[in-house]
Structure 1
């Protein structure tokens, strides 16, 4: 009877097999190195700094010399009078983004996929990609030019038509729709790239068979196109939940003013005012860690649900 290999022998064989694979595919691993290095340096490396969320961090003393205070900063966060306002505003904006912004690139990609005139399709794609390269200060500046009550284009047209001017920029009820509308205008075209790439891999014979069976364009989209990109949609949705509590500091910071601050102040702007301006680095790190934990829990829960529904998750 042949003896089974020991764990040491098995480990040696696995190591030898890995080394052969590494040598054989050395150029592929070399191409992988920059991406791995980027994540190690800029994503995993800074995680060491999370320890200051449990310290009374003093820049002069450094991480190793600062006093350990446990969960004091988290207790302060949850008992802060502003906490529930910040949590409500951040949560509402996050839900708005999931409900309105996330489906927008999918719908646009489906519509572009139905266009058969290649020149028209390419032209539209180029036009909707351009806003992605415009910075948020420029986007907010355009918004002010359009909607300000002091000579804004939109209000000038409304007044010219005999209506009353709209003070959109100072209106609390208009703040969140405007934030979502800006994000859709700026990023919806760029977001279609992944979905269009997924749609390019759909077997055209399926459409031909559906047409022979008398299926309309809408039926083809519902029964062929959507199921073909369903896994891509689910994976991107799970990844989107990882940044669920990230409202986008730059955009919010530029749009908030004294009259809409009650609905516009979110955790991102709060961290800036308390952490960077106020110098409370440990407390602001605790706020950021709280946001990250919520994102992690949402990703794990969504990934588990995807597995239960026999879908491919992110891990």
Structure 2
């Protein structure tokens, strides 16, 4: 049973890791991996000295922070609400309803956002006009870009994120709730003193894992939402790698950017795991 998963990680995750060495080479496809000239930290120096680096880092950091602050807590909240439902049919119906967006591609999700938010017949703008307001160009606005992107992530992935938390909640001993009710604890106190402590370790582990991909803001979604008007706040490392590294064939430079993101993720995972252990949690290792 372990073998298929083990082979997957060995072949698709660990074996390709040798490719990170091209971040220190001036990789030329016709010369091959080993014969391409070694250039040391040239590509990293180029990245850090680029005029766009601070803008890219700021945009990526803000979007990643939005995902942690606004998206990460929502699956926990939804799972707690679903756990309080006593009508099993209703619970399953709501679960199915909120899982569906996860299976939609980002092309579909962004297309739905365009239909709702466009100034030419968009539902939101038409509603604003009907109530006496003015149309807002959401899709070309720097002020609305991050809000829209974060909202899309919330709508698409919140339901799917509840699965692990619901599984953790199913393992809570029902006798604890019975004892609490006998002691006069209401539903709010049962939630605070039994339910949340029971899933605290799961929350911390998932938060640590989430920090590992902190700077991965999602290329496809951001790329589809970008235009000339919002690029100032929407351009992130993922789109930069595509436009500068991949489109122009600068594979070594794009690998250097990816390695930089991975190092940041590693530092965040190790640091958060250390602090988790300091407060008495198990962490991930």
User: Equivalent residues in 2 for 1:77-88 (5 A)?
Assistant: 77-88=47-58
Determine the C-alpha separation between the residues in 2 that align with 1:217 and 1:41. 49
Q: Residue 198 in 1 paired to residue 158 in 2?
A: no
> Cα distance, 1:186 vs. partner?
0.2
2:76 aligned partner: 106
2:181 aligned partner: 211
Determine the C-alpha separation between the residues in 1 that align with 2:259 and 2:17. 10
Residue-by-residue CA offset, 1:243-302 (whole Å, 9 max, x unaligned): 000000000000011110000000000000111111110011000000000000000001
Q: Which moved more, 1:166-175 or 1:259-268?
A: 166-175
Match of 2:89 among 96, 103, 119: 119
Match of 2:124 among 143, 154, 163: 154
> Cα distance, 1:75 vs. partner?
0.5
User: Equivalent residues in 2 for 1:196-275 (5 A)?
Assistant: 196-275=166-245
1:287 aligned partner: 257
1:135 aligned partner: 105
Where structure 1 has 5 or more consecutive residues not aligned to the other structure, the ranges are 1-30
1:21 aligned partner: none
Determine the C-alpha separation between the residues in 2 that align with 1:67 and 1:254. 36
Determine the C-alpha separation between the residues in 2 that align with 1:163 and 1:306. 49
> Cα distance, 1:310 vs. partner?
1.3
Structure showing greater radius of gyration is 1
- Structure 1 runs of 4+ aligned residues shifted over 4 Å read none
Determine the C-alpha separation between the residues in 1 that align with 2:210 and 2:132. 44
> Cα distance, 1:159 vs. partner?
1.2
1:313 aligned partner: 283
Give the count of matched residue pairs.
285
Residue-by-residue CA offset, 1:158-210 (whole Å, 9 max, x unaligned): 21222211111111111111111100000000000000000000000101111
Determine the C-alpha separation between the residues in 1 that align with 2:177 and 2:130. 51
Q: Residue 52 in 1 paired to residue 22 in 2?
A: yes
Determine the C-alpha separation between the residues in 2 that align with 1:143 and 1:157. 15
RMSD of equivalent CA atoms: 0.6
Determine the C-alpha separation between the residues in 2 that align with 1:175 and 1:295. 24
Determine the C-alpha separation between the residues in 2 that align with 1:200 and 1:143. 35
Match of 2:154 among 184, 189, 195: 184
Where structure 2 has 5 or more consecutive residues not aligned to the other structure, the ranges are none
1:41 aligned partner: 11
Q: Which moved more, 1:149-158 or 1:187-196?
A: 149-158
